[in-house]
Every structure is written in structure tokens, then in C-alpha cells.
A and B are shown apart, each in its own frame.
Chain A
Amino acid sequence: MYEILVDLPIQIPLGETYRYMGFPANYNDIPGQIIRMVEEEVSVATAVLKPRATYHTMAYDAAENTLYNKEGHLRLIGSSICMHLSSCTKVTIFTCTVGPAIDPLMDTYFKKGEYTRALIIDAIGSAAVEYIVDTLNQYLNTAAYRQQHSLVSRFSPGYGGWGLTIQKDLVDLAGGAAIGIKVTDASLLIPRKSVSGIIGWVPGLEKIQQGITSPCTLCQIPKCKNPICKGGAS
């Protein structure tokens, strides 16, 4: 059965927020008025964000590319994800969200002509949900360590060539509905500031040396402009 985490502590990472806004990493010349607006919007966002997560750890058969337990199973399709999990004996599937409050705020700002605040609040939402995923990942790192396992880097549908169509089954199995996550017919998550993914467990505590360390290194999408993209094909 999946576990549910609610009211997760959140600290909006400002560096990531600036990056999602379009500034390069570690950029030092951010205008003072933008800094002030970011501070204000962080206060606004902190009051309305609802950071929640679910996760479900299951056994993984690498030969069959299938995760399973007594409640169900899910076969993974896609050479990139299968290669990524090829040494894994367990996986944790997860969903995370910061709730639905960001979209209406963004819409309101655009309607009022406050484009910069709209950009900022969207960036805060993206940074916040990644922060929650990072928090969950760290928690799982500790759990894995205690069980003499290491984790491979997390992988989400839609990245690194892993198709989006698995999203519905993945979210169902991970319990996303319990924290208000739905999947559209086009396999997109609602609320928009939500993430689903999979983290593989490898037996042993040695640092994993694989050719694959990030979904982005497998990505076949040229010139991906998604801010989360840290490299990849070009």
C-alpha cells in the first residue's frame, strides 16, 4: 500500500526560483525590484501551497521490466527507463504536488498585467514541487541506506525519452489520487505543479557508476527549453 505524506515542510529555494524564471544559474546581477517581488510572492505562495506526496516501494524484476507486489504490477516500456533500472531489485514510485493554488494566481496576475509576478509565481511553484521531490528523495536515501541499498537517480515520465502514456497507471499505483492528483487524457498531471516518478534501489552501498546519471543525458529532445533540463541532446 502507498504511504501518504502531508504538510511537508517547505522552504522555497530562491536559486532554483530564479533559474525557473529564466536567469542563469548563480546569476548575481538580479535587479533589486525583482528580488523584492520574489520575496513578496514567496510570502504569498507559502501561505497557499499544500505540499504533499505519496510513495510506494515495490519489488522490481529487471528481466521483465516490471514492478510488482501483491496489490498489482506495472510493466515499464521504453529502453531508457529499462536501462536505467537494469540493476535494481526494488523501486519506489511516487507522486508529489504543491496543490492547485498556483494556476489561479498566475492567471490573475496575467489578467491584471502583472506579467513579472505571474512569471515569478509560476517559477516558485516549479521550485517548490522540486523541493518536495528532493525532500522525499532524501528521505528515501536514508531508508535505502539503512537497508543496505543505494538509489539511482529519479526518473519521471516524459523525460529522457520515457513516454508519458504510463502516467495514469503510475499515478494510480503510487496513490496520487489520495493527494488530489489527476491525469488528463493527454497524460498530463493536474494540479500542474505536480510530479510523478520512479526511483530504483540497487543492493549494496557502493556508489553507483553507470553511464546514466540523469534522465537528461538520455534525452533525445533537441534544444529542450524546459528549465529542468540540465543538458542533454542539442
Chain B
Amino acid sequence: MNKLLNQLIEQKILLFDGALGTMLQKAGLEAGQCPEHWNITNQSTIAEIHKQYINAGAQVITTNTFGGSRAKLQTYGLDNDCHRINYNGVALAKQAAHGKALVAASIGPTGKLMHPMGELHFDMAYDMFKEQVLAFVEAGADLVIIETMVDLQETRAALLAVKENSSLPVVCSTSFDERMRTLTGSDPITIATVLEGLGADIIGANCSGGPEQLLPVIEQLASVCNVPIIVQPNAGLPELINNETVFHLSPEAFASFGPKLIEAGASCIGGCCGTTPLHIKALWETVKLLDPCPYKPHPVTCIAGRTGTLFISHDLAPIIIGERINPTGRSKLAEDIRSGAMDLVRQEALAQVQNGADALDVNMGVPGLDESAAMRQAIEIIQSLVGVPLSIDTTNPIALETGLRYFCGKALINSINAEPSSLEQLLPIAKKYGATILALPLDGCNLPLTAAERFAIAEKIIAAAKKEGIEQHNIVIDGLCLTAGAQQEYAYEAIRAIQMYKSKLGVATALGVSNVSFGLPRRDILNSTFLAMALSAGLNMAIINPHDLRMKETFLASQVLMNYDTGSKSYITSVKQTNTQTPTNNENITAIQKIRTAVIQGEKTLIAQYIHEALTKQEDALAIVNQALVPAMEDIGVSYFKGEAFLPQVMMAAETMRNAFQELKKTMPENEMPQYGTVVLATVKGDIHDLGKNIVGALMENNGFRVIDLGKDVSAESIVTAASEYNAEIVGLSALMTTTMPEMEKVINQLREHNITTKVMVGGAVVTQEYADSIQADAYASDALDALRKAKAIVLQ
């Protein structure tokens, strides 16, 4: 870390400059003008501002390139000048500094939201930052400062762009809101954990608020950071006075916070919005004789997601890593991953976290699949849904690097073993991305049956990791769970190994508990008992199925008995709730049952295949209709009325029925299809709401009715004509507004006048049974499923 670190070590406190934007406005920058364009058009002004800060005492000056990304410049039509603007920014600062100050090339946010909230994908952001970095290197910047960042993922893209395209030291400074969170929900501890792991040389906070608001942020950063900390507050909180934003802290008032910020843990200090050379000069007077806080936090094993960090220690409660996103032995999940749909992946991510998983293991090992692409897709999907840390479960170096690159956090690598190829290929990747390693005590020779053998291998992995620059606190060791069914005498060695790791090495431990019961009946009993043993021995990370009720109960009870669950609060809350288990997979279901289940679960893409399979197995098409499809809609209806399923699932079932009938029509004669009759549907005159009517039509059409949908805003005359023309059994009328409801009575009266005996069913948000009775409608439907049920009742009478 060249001159920057040397200067820091010599001087102890390093003074950065203040706001550039504030000074540019004073120099005549108008609203709507691009500040960075002045690197081309007003070079002398830029240089003069830098000189003013140097004369005020700043030892590091920041270039006028904060908004110099291609995306930002594009908003001014200046993207073609991107390289020139960034190059000039550094060149002007170097010229002004003339060796008296270091030049920090500034990178700010692109102004675009990162995927999935916005359209900016990681690689796009990386490329934009890389473009800036290359210009900085060419112009001779001394370091890069990534500042005022509000999204950890965007910061990661910028940091990697610097690390991979230069050897410049890099400062990462984040802006937090009043809840001490970034825009996308990251707290200071998580920011520090992730960025320090990725190689940031200095970490800190700027903007956000005045110096008082940043004090607690710096304290939090200092509690985990082992690199120097920077703070650059605004000159107080902004106020809008006469349509102008004013920062009200005077230089003296601003500077008075300097000693407190140093005491809180900062060793680099400067100013942001509203500060001027006077603020910086006053600040230096208050801090120049101070020493930075000598306290350095003791490093603790941890993993992090975007919204939080999990610390792993023998003083802290153990955590659950959900193991369910793993296609091994699970054909449906494998197909879901192979197809790219990732529906089950989404479901498992949400469900496992809901059931208490603190982190999620992600394994995309499907034979024949591009594991790297699948891993990237899965991680981007999962982290858009949940903010927990992830365990990247692969030994494929390409898939591992992909996973670590796109994961917004500090991941656990599951796993690295002592085989030379594993150490050589995977340790450098772990080091680069700052991941925590799960070390598996295997060395490619004989299986280590005893705890002592595993311990010896673990020591080798730790030594190799240290050579790579990975400290012990970034290593977790697996107890290596063997199956009691095949190696009963060695099953308990995993427990002994955990005890040895804890007592002799002090490292954190992990165990994939479920392996112990493979091949034996009532796996839940064995798994939960083994889990209790492992927790008692000091297990820190339990890799389990969080849906397994018995495992969950054992885990919660252990937390009480080991005094982690203070006051037994979590345990008491949990046992008061009912927790239904996910039904286990039954491979012996019949083809008919499979179809029925597929309709209920809305598996519209697979239903044709199931129908085809059933017909191939000699199932009768009529039997499929009467024993699978019709009962399935009744089942979903029952679930709906019980409040266990909702309209979207009903719609999925209707789509599945549609696809099922389309497949059946290929072999089943038209006259054998269920036929309940003809329904004419319409939203009445003056009313343009048709969603409800369309849903009714969808259900009826796929449950044996012929539907004539007249659309919306339909006159009574048109409805009556259609009822007669199509010889409809039922006319269904929808109205959403009290002002349009009276049209329903018109339709009924006209039908009677023309002696048309079609039955009339009414429905809509404002329609009631009482109203239906008052206008002598034949039926009232409270919702779409009620409409289907009553329509069938009408025609079957």
C-alpha cells in the first residue's frame, strides 16, 4: 500500500479534503450543469479548489470525478468524454498537488439501482467502474476513493474493478441513513465485514449526516474493522432556506467533533457536503496532535449477507444452515434447476428462512449442467428474496468463483479439503473474495475414521490456508459425519472431532448432521439425537433441514439447555405455534393421483406429460377427467374456501386444467368431454371492470362450460340477444360500481319480457345476496369459485 500506508503510519492521522460540489457551486456551477465537465471547460477553477484544500492542510485531495461514470455522464450527453473527464480529473489534481498531497481518484454511485431492484447488472456496473479506473491509472492517481455509496453490491463492483485493474490502494466509504442502514439495507458491521474481506485498504462513512450523526457509525465500524477507518461528515444536517440547501455547521463547530470521531476509531478524516477549506483547516487544528484509537478488534469468525452479519463463536449461539437447496437425490429440484425456472429454489429459499435457517447452502450440482451459470442464477435469485448469508456448496473452482463474485456478502465456501488440487485451486479464490472456508478433513487418501486422523488433516488445511494469507478465524472445520448404518463404530468420531477442534484449535465447527442416518429407518430420530450430541460437544454451524420438525425442536431445546436462548423466549414462542411438516416425496403415487396433485399445485408445464404418461399406462381419458381433473378443482375449491389457498393458486390450477384438456382433446372425442352447457358472460353497461368476469370465464371454460364472453360495458339488449342466440343456460352479469348495478335489473326484466328462460347469476364487489334477491336474479356468486359451484348446481337441477 505504498505512500498512503506509509503516510498513515508516520502521521497516524491523515487529513482528507472537504466538499468539491460546495466549492464548485460557489465558483458558479449552475443547477443542471455537470460538475465533472469542468475538468474540460474550467480546469483552472478545479486546480484552484484543490490548491485551497492543500493550503488548508489536506494531505489527500479528491478528484472531481465523483459523477464520472459513463451512466452518470450519459445523463448530460457527455458519455463520449468519459475517459477524458476522468483522466483530466486526476491530472488536474496532481498538477495542483505538486507532490504536496496524495491524489485520491473519486468514484461515486452510477445513480442507477442495481439488479434486482433496478436494471443495472453487476457486470455492467463493473465495466463502468473499470473504465474510470483505467483512466485513473493512466493519469497517475495515488489511490482510489469509492465514496458516498448506498448499495453494498455496487460498492463491491467498484472495489473489484479497482483491485482487478490496478494496484492502487482503495478507500471504501459508505453513506447511511438515520437508521444506520444503506439504501439497500446494509448495516455498518456488514459493510466493514464484506469490504475488508474483499481487500479494501481503508473503510469508512461519509455524507449521511453531520459529524454527530456519524459518531455511532464509526463506533460500529471500529468494532469489527482491522483496517484504518475514514470519516467525512457533512457540515451538519441540510436545511432548505429560500430554495437553497444550506449546511449550517460553522468551521469551528464542525471541527469540534474531530477529537470525538478520532476517539470513536477514525484515523482518516475530512469533510463532505457543505464543508470548505475553512472547515478542513479548523478540523486539522483539533486532530493533528491526536493518536488514533489503539484498540483493534479481535477477529471473529463470521459470514454475512446483504442485510446482516452472523458471528460464529463458542460464546455465541450456534446457527442453522438450511441444506435443502441441493439437487442430490431430488429429481424435481434437479429438473427445476436444469430448466432454469428455479421455482423450487425460490420456494426453498423463502421457506427455509421462514423456518429458522440463519444461512442457506446452495448446491447446483446437476449432471451435465453448466454449474457456474446455474450458480450465478440461483444466487441472484436467492439474494433478491432473502438477505441471509449463503454457503456456496461446490468444489468446482469456476462455479465457486462465480458464486463468490455475484454474492453480495461474505460467503461460506462448502468446502475445501486437504487434497492438493483443492488447496491449490480453491484457497486463492477464497482469499480473493474474503470468504470463510468450511474445511473438510479429507485428503484424498484413506477415509479418516478417527477424530485424531481428522484433526491432523484439519491442521494441514489451516497451515495451507495461512500460507495463502487466510487467517484461522476465517476457517470452520467440519466434523465429517459418517453414516451409522455403514460405519457405526465411527459415527461418534464426528462428535469427538468437534470436541478436539474446539479445545485444541479454538476454531468454529460445522456438521452436515443428516448424513448420519442415511439408509436407516426413522431418520428423524437419529438426526435429531445426533444434532443434540453435536451441539453439546460445541457445534457452531448445524447444516440441517429446517423443515424437519424434530430437528428444529432439538435445536431450540438445546438453545435453552445451553443457556443461549435467554428466558427461553424463542423456545416458548415456537412451541406455541403449530409447525406443519412438508409432505415427503412418495414415489409410489398412481398416475391419476399425480395428475390430481399437479392440478392442485398448478404444474401447468408438466401436466401434458403426466396426461400422456397416464394414457400410456392404459388409464381411461374419462377416468382422468372424473377421477383426477374434476376432483382436483373441487380440492382447490375446498382449500380456497378454507382460506388455505388463494386466487392465484386457483388461477394456476385453471391454467393447468386448460392444458390438461388440450392434451386430452387429442385423444378424447368432443362429446365425451364434460359439458355443462353454455354461459354468456358480460360486465354491464357503463362498467369497464372485467377482471372478475374474466376469472369466472376462465374457471368455467376449463370446467366443462362453453363460455360466450361479451366483454365489458355491454348493453342489456346485446346480452339478451346473445342469450337467445346461443341458447344459453346461464347469463352471468358483473358490476363493480353502485352506479352500474341497476343495469343488472334491466337485463333480467328484458329476458323476462322476451320469455327467455335463461337463468341469471350476478356478482361483483358491490353486489350482495340481498340485492340479487331484490332484482330476482336466480343466483348470487360471492366470488369466482362460488360462481362455478352455483353454475354447476343450476345446470344439474
Q: Is B476 located at the chain interface by the 8 A CB criterion? A: no
A-B contact pairs, 10 of them (CB 8 A): A11-B117, A21-B646, A33-B343, A34-B648, A118-B691, A118-B694, A164-B738, A165-B739, A184-B686, A186-B739
Q: Is B630 located at the chain interface by the 8 A CB criterion? A: no
Residues from chain A with a CB closer than 8 A to the CB of B795 are none
Residues from chain B with a CB closer than 8 A to the CB of A36 are 341-343, 346
Residues from chain A with a CB closer than 8 A to the CB of B647 are 21-22, 119
Stretch at the interface among B347-355, B396-404, B458-466, B491-499: B347-355
CB distance from B246 to the nearest CB of A (A): 15
Answer whether A225 and B765 are a contact pair too, CB < 8 Å, given A29-B351, A184-B686, A192-B689: yes
Stretch at the interface among A172-180, A203-211, A216-224: A216-224
From 94 to 117 in chain A, residues with beta carbon under 8 angstroms from any chain B beta carbon are 106, 110, 113-116
Q: Are A221 and B686 in contact (CB under 8 A)?
A: no
User: Could you give, for residues 112-131 of chain A, a 1 whenever the CB lies within 8 Å of some chain B CB and a 0 otherwise?
Assistant: 01111011101000000000
Answer whether A32 and B346 are a contact pair too, CB < 8 Å, given A22-B646, A184-B686, A186-B739: yes
**Complex Cα distance A224/B766, Å?**
6
A38 nearest in chain B by CB position: B648
User: Could you give, for residues 176-198 of chain A, a 1 whenever the CB lies within 8 Å of some chain B CB and a 0 otherwise?
Assistant: 00000000111110101000000
Interface residues of A (CB under 8 A from B): 11, 21-24, 27-36, 39, 106, 110, 113-116, 118-120, 122, 158, 164-165, 184-188, 190, 192, 221-226
Interface residues of B (CB under 8 A from A): 116-117, 341-348, 350-351, 354, 384-385, 601-602, 643, 646-649, 651-652, 654-655, 658, 685-689, 691, 694-695, 697-698, 737-740, 765-766, 768, 782-783
Q: Are A116 and B740 in contact (CB under 8 A)?
A: no
Answer whether A35 and B691 are a contact pair too, CB < 8 Å, given A119-B651, A224-B765: no
Q: Are B646 and A106 in contact (CB under 8 A)?
A: no
Cross-interface CB contact of A116 among B116, B345, B648, cutoff 8 Å: B648
Residues from chain A with a CB closer than 8 A to the CB of B782 are 223, 225
**Complex Cα distance A190/B343, Å?**
36
Cross-interface CB contact of A223 among B348, B649, B685, B768, cutoff 8 Å: B768
Q: Are B652 and A116 in contact (CB under 8 A)?
A: yes
CB distance from B377 to the nearest CB of A (A): 11
Please give me the 8 A-B residue pairs with the lowest Cβ-Cβ distance, nearest first.
Answer: A22-B647, A186-B686, A32-B347, A32-B346, A32-B343, A33-B343, A116-B651, A115-B651
Q: Are B687 and A28 in contact (CB under 8 A)?
A: no
**Complex Cα distance A185/B384, Å?**
45
Residues from chain A with a CB closer than 8 A to the CB of B351 are 29
B743 nearest in chain A by CB position: A186
B662 nearest in chain A by CB position: A113
Question: Mostly helix, strand, loop or mixed at chain A's interface?
Answer: loop
Residues from chain B with a CB closer than 8 A to the CB of A187 are 737, 739
Answer whether A186 and B687 are a contact pair too, CB < 8 Å, given A34-B648, A164-B739, A225-B765: yes
Q: Are A115 and B346 in contact (CB under 8 A)?
A: no
A158 nearest in chain B by CB position: B737
Residues from chain A with a CB closer than 8 A to the CB of B768 are 222-223
Answer whether A115 and B689 are a contact pair too, CB < 8 Å, given A22-B648, A33-B341, A120-B648: no
Residues from chain B with a CB closer than 8 A to the CB of A114 are 655
Residues from chain A with a CB closer than 8 A to the CB of B765 are 224-226
B650 nearest in chain A by CB position: A22
CB distance from B744 to the nearest CB of A (A): 13
CB distance from A103 to the nearest CB of B (A): 9
**Complex Cα distance A39/B384, Å?**
10
CB distance from A155 to the nearest CB of B (A): 17
Residues from chain B with a CB closer than 8 A to the CB of A116 are 602, 648, 651-652, 655
Q: Are B691 and A119 in contact (CB under 8 A)?
A: yes
Q: Are B341 and A188 in contact (CB under 8 A)?
A: no
**Complex Cα distance A119/B652, Å?**
10
A222 nearest in chain B by CB position: B768
Residues from chain A with a CB closer than 8 A to the CB of B783 are 225
A33 nearest in chain B by CB position: B343
CB distance from B513 to the nearest CB of A (A): 25
Q: Are A106 and B691 in contact (CB under 8 A)?
A: yes
CB distance from B699 to the nearest CB of A (A): 9
CB distance from B106 to the nearest CB of A (A): 26
Residues from chain A with a CB closer than 8 A to the CB of B698 are 110, 113, 115
Residues from chain A with a CB closer than 8 A to the CB of B347 are 31-32, 35
Q: Are B737 and A186 in contact (CB under 8 A)?
A: yes
Additional 20 contacts, C-beta under 8 A, given A33-B602, A115-B694, A186-B737: A24-B643, A31-B347, A31-B649, A31-B652, A32-B344, A32-B348, A34-B649, A35-B343, A35-B346, A110-B694, A110-B698, A116-B602, A119-B691, A158-B737, A164-B739, A165-B739, A184-B686, A192-B689, A222-B768, A226-B765
**Complex Cα distance A120/B655, Å?**
14
**Complex Cα distance A122/B354, Å?**
28
B646 nearest in chain A by CB position: A22
Residues from chain B with a CB closer than 8 A to the CB of A165 are 739
**Complex Cα distance A113/B658, Å?**
8
Cross-interface CB contact of A119 among B343, B346, B648, cutoff 8 Å: B648
B644 nearest in chain A by CB position: A29
Q: Tell which of B602, B652, B697 has the most Cβ of chain A within 10 Å.
A: B652
Q: Are B766 and A188 in contact (CB under 8 A)?
A: no
CB distance from B664 to the nearest CB of A (A): 15
B763 nearest in chain A by CB position: A225
CB distance from A161 to the nearest CB of B (A): 10
**Complex Cα distance A115/B707, Å?**
15
A113 nearest in chain B by CB position: B658
**Complex Cα distance A47/B601, Å?**
30
B684 nearest in chain A by CB position: A186
B711 nearest in chain A by CB position: A107
A229 nearest in chain B by CB position: B765
